[in-house]
A and B are shown apart, each in its own frame.
Chain A
Amino acid sequence: MNSTHQLVKDCIKNNRLAQETLYKQYAATMLGVCYRYTKSIEDAEDVLQEGFVKVFKNIEKFRNEGDLGAWIRRIMVNTALTYLNKHNRYKKDMQLDDIHVHPIADENPDLQIETKQLIETIRTLPSGYQTIFNLVAIEGFSHVEIANIMHVNINTIRSQYKRARTMIIKKLSQNQVSTFYNEP
């Protein structure tokens, strides 16, 4: 019996220490995930808490064949989507197709992406764009999956992802230039 298996077993029994152990093991990473979907750290913590409650209430459904971290992460993403939907965040932004974004010359620029900068850039996007970018670029969801999750037309997803991607590349590129000039 491996360690994760034992930990899950103890969590199923509602063993508080085991639950805390599992929480401590994954909380920081999962807050990083939640943070990408929200606009404030408070919102992210709300999602994290809601997500972990779901994790513990449903942990008996976890089959030990898979990766526990991936399972928890999926729950966090779903919780974040529910949270955003509940607070009507991304629905509004679905109407932002008229945002004018200049196309960029290079689809895959040679950027040096710094984590913190990337995170903050993602979070400056309108919620809908932010969500779609997270789901496609980071979680690896297909457009069809996201269309089903968000109940939005697939073409909207496709175009919005393209726009979000372009916006992020632009912002990252600008930051790199400014950083270059600001360097002593």
Chain B
Amino acid sequence: MNHNFEHKVQQALDGFAIEPSGEAWKNIEQQLPTKKKKRFAFWWISAAAIALISGIHFINTADTKMAEKLNDKNINSNAVTTRNENVEIKSPSKTNTNQVKKTNKVEILTDYNFKAKDRKFSVQKKQANDNKNYSFKTQKTQKGINPNIDNIQSNSISNNTVKKDVENEDVAINTIKNTNQNFVIIEKSLQITNPTKSFSLNKDFSIKNTLQNSIPNKTVSTKKWQVSLALGTGVQQISNNNLFINDSKSENSTSFSNTGGGGFGAGGGLTPSLSASNNYRILPLPNNGLNFKIGLTATKQITKTFAVSTGILYQYTQNKSLATLDSVSRSNLYFVEDVNNFITNKSHNIQLPIVLNTNILKNNTARFYLITGLTANWVISSNYLQQSSTQNLYILQESNYNKLLWSMQAGVGVNFNEKWIGSITLNQGLTPIHNTGVKSYFTSIDAMFSIPVQSIFKTKK
């Protein structure tokens, strides 16, 4: 079949176009979905959910681990003063009250704000010559963690016996071997047993046998704010950092030039889009940069699991844009596009983070926690390239934004014995850049290093 006619038809129609009415785009625009929710929202929700679940799990399963650790330290510290108050045991048994009073000094230390509610201790009076010698055993009634009272130093007396709770070997088995021995049991419910009767206390308390050593009257409270000096840095990427270039604007004949020969693709792998219609182009600016921050943070443990953290930080960020200074006019700096040269976009910010820390793991040296939070970012000043309204040049806009932008963060932190704290967080939020009319947002991975101020002073001493 001869396609001469078809060929002519195709040729005739080649390039045939009709300009649509102005309403067409508006109608299309109305039917288009709004900007997709950013993928990071999913990660934030996931991180928050994980943090919440971990927190609940932590509360339900782990009990006084962290607090006991603190307590152990205090027990070993002779610097802590003691309180020698006689116990007031409200016993259901009248007959034994005196006996206990006589032989023990029990101190109720309400400063201890942690509770081993899933265990029961009993103190058994030993029938021995010295009625001040006791053994006590712990009984684990639910899944829990052994209160580490092995750290109590003891001077053995030969006639003491060691009582072991053989049924619960995973729980500390301790013997008070010396009348000079202090021991501490922190329990919500203590059962003191003697050969005939038992008593119960329904408070957190400490039992102190005699006077000398280290029963703290004050524990390290988790309710105080811990102020830290924080230093940090991070890498960041800015999305939508595009210049939407209107080529129809008159060019500055003397100075405008596209270095790289009619395009921008020649240098540094930075290829602008020449994708738009005749009059428009999109020039993606380099969008990688660094940030540095310094400031003070304050953390307060609100429960064993959760802590809140805030602070005030100064942050400096810098990114690069491809441009070369062309001229200075009326206090403005004019730039032309140049793939071979960069100018720096800078911003100065004051940040106020509001963070929730959720403990997830702890060992003898470190405590790990999840970080989720928001940061109020007050942009003090920021500069960016913006196209001149009359020329195809770009003005380095520098303005005092005095503007509040929010970012979100999630990550992990580690606290090494309250001596230093490290964290890595993923941050996402808005930037002051809005070259394309579309707000830009940044993603950064920041590393922070903090030293508690108390720790600094202690070191100096």
Residues A21 and B276 in contact in the complex (CB < 8 Å), given A14-B32, A52-B28, A108-B4 = yes
Contact across chains for A31 and B20 when beta carbons are under 8 A apart: yes
Partner of A137, one of B10, B35, B273: B10
B31 at the interface (CB under 8 A from A): yes
B residues near A108, Cβ cutoff 8 Å: 2, 4-5
B residues near A2, Cβ cutoff 8 Å: 271
Describe A's contact surface by its main secondary structure.
helix
Residues A17 and B20 in contact in the complex (CB < 8 Å), given A7-B273, A24-B276, A24-B277 = no
Question: Quick check: which of B11-19, B171-179, B251-259, B366-374 contacts chain A, the rest being far away?
Answer: B11-19
List residues 26-64 of chain A with CB under 8 A from any CB of chain B.
Answer: 27-29, 31-32, 35-36, 41, 44-45, 48-49, 52-53, 56-57
Q: Tell me the minimal C-beta distance from A151 to chain B in angstroms.
A: 24
Interface 0/1 of B13-49, CB less than 8 Å to A: 1011111110011011101111110000000000000
Partner of A3, one of B15, B24, B273: B273
Complex Cα distance, B22 from A49, in Å, reads 12
Residues A45 and B2 in contact in the complex (CB < 8 Å), given A23-B28, A138-B10, A138-B13 = no
Residues A14 and B17 in contact in the complex (CB < 8 Å), given A6-B271, A22-B275, A111-B8 = no
Across the two chains, which residue of chain B brings its CB closest to A113? B12
Contact across chains for A28 and B18 when beta carbons are under 8 A apart: yes
Complex Cα distance, B437 from A45, in Å, reads 28
List residues 421-461 of chain B with CB under 8 A from any CB of chain A.
Answer: 436-438
A67 at the interface (CB under 8 A from B): no
Residues A53 and B31 in contact in the complex (CB < 8 Å), given A16-B438, A24-B277, A24-B280 = yes
A114 at the interface (CB under 8 A from B): yes
Contact across chains for A169 and B16 when beta carbons are under 8 A apart: no
Interface size on A, residues (CB 8 A): 50
Contact across chains for B5 and A169 when beta carbons are under 8 A apart: yes
A residues near B24, Cβ cutoff 8 Å: 27, 31, 45, 48-49
Contact across chains for A14 and B276 when beta carbons are under 8 A apart: no
Across the two chains, which residue of chain A brings its CB closest to B32? A56
A88 at the interface (CB under 8 A from B): no
Q: Tell me the minimal C-beta distance from A19 to chain B in angstroms.
A: 7
The interface centre, meaning the residue of A14, A18, A118, A169 with most chain B CB atoms within 10 A of its CB, is A18
B residues near A3, Cβ cutoff 8 Å: 271-275, 281-282
Contact across chains for B34 and A14 when beta carbons are under 8 A apart: yes
Complex Cα distance, B21 from A171, in Å, reads 30
Contact across chains for B17 and A28 when beta carbons are under 8 A apart: yes
Residues A6 and B20 in contact in the complex (CB < 8 Å), given A49-B31, A108-B2, A115-B13 = no
A155 at the interface (CB under 8 A from B): no
Q: Show 26 A/B contacts (Cβ-Cβ < 8 Å), sorted by A.
A: A1-B271, A3-B281, A6-B282, A7-B282, A14-B34, A14-B35, A14-B36, A17-B244, A19-B29, A21-B276, A21-B282, A23-B28, A24-B277, A27-B24, A27-B25, A35-B18, A44-B18, A57-B32, A108-B5, A111-B5, A113-B9, A113-B11, A113-B12, A118-B12, A119-B16, A137-B9
Q: A residues bordering B, Cβ < 8 Å?
A: 1-4, 6-7, 10, 13-25, 27-29, 31-32, 35-36, 41, 44-45, 48-49, 52-53, 56-57, 107-109, 111, 113-115, 118-119, 136-138, 165, 169
